[in-house]
Amino acid sequence: MVHRFDPQRVERLLDERRYSWHDPAQVLHHLDLDRCTALADVGCGPGWFALPAAKRLPPGGVVYGIDISEEMLEHLRRRARAQGVDNVVPVLAEEEDEWPVPTESCEAVLIADVYHEVDPASMFIGEVKRILRPGGVCLVVDWKPEPTPEGPPADHRVDPDDVIAEFTAGGFQFVGPCDVGPYSYGLKFAKPPHP
């Protein structure tokens, strides 16, 4: 059974203590946002990563905040308005359908704390590949497959080797691991350029 985060518990996603294990600066560092014109934050929730990313993009850059919960996207909209951020585009996605994000529109995709909720992975990976430009990168951040003070139950977590196998089967190149904090692993992938 897939573990899903309850949108009613959104305050947990905005708890200041989260900086000690999920600092957006540490995670976003791996995406070269200074040269990025479009980033998709898949499973963006209330914008823990999307809003800091939007502030770091060059002028004209946009962040697509993708989520399956309209409630989470409303939190994202409110927080963006409160912080004066106008380059975040909330995107409501249906789990089994194509995401309403243009094909090959993004140079980077962030998937943070979401991959363990994905089923089936092949459709999800296909959408990531579709919205990424050739040569674009995807960073998967998820919980280490061991007990940690934060995160979902250990039996709902995904082994990083399985993530690597699924993304490479989906046509991605594994770039390497990234340091994203004490309780999570980071895996960076690239979409190959067109031949």
Q: Which pLDDT value is given to residue 3?
A: 41
For the stretch 81-110, pLDDT in tens is: 999 999 999 999 986 678 999 999 999 999
Q: Determine the average pLDDT of the residues in 25-37.
A: 93
The pair of structure tokens assigned to 27 is 């995670």
- For 95-156, give the DSSP string: TTS--SS-TT-EEEEEEES-GGG-SSHHHHHHHHHHHEEEEEEEEEEEE-SS--SSSS-GGG
Q: Which pLDDT value is given to residue 1?
A: 36
Q: Would the pLDDT of 78 be above 50? A: yes
Q: Determine the average pLDDT of the residues in 55-74.
A: 94
pTM of the complete model beyond 0.75 = yes
Q: Would the pLDDT of 5 be above 60? A: no
Q: Determine the average pLDDT of the residues in 158-185.
A: 96
For the stretch 123-150, pLDDT in tens is: 889 999 999 999 999 999 999 999 899 8
pLDDT tier for residue 11 given thresholds of 50, 70 and 90: low
Q: Which pLDDT value is given to residue 10?
A: 59
Backbone angles phi, psi at 39, to 5 degrees: -125, 140
**What would the CATH number be for the domain defined by 7-190?**
3.40.50.150
> Which residues are CB-contacts of 86 (< 8 A; sequence separation ≥ 6)?
80
Handedness of CA 181, 29, 66, 175 (dihedral sign): negative
Q: Determine the average pLDDT of the residues in 8-30.
A: 78
Domain ranges of the chain: 7-190
CB 55 within 8 A of CB 85: yes
Backbone angles phi, psi at 53, to 5 degrees: -65, -45
Q: Would the pLDDT of 168 be above 70? A: yes
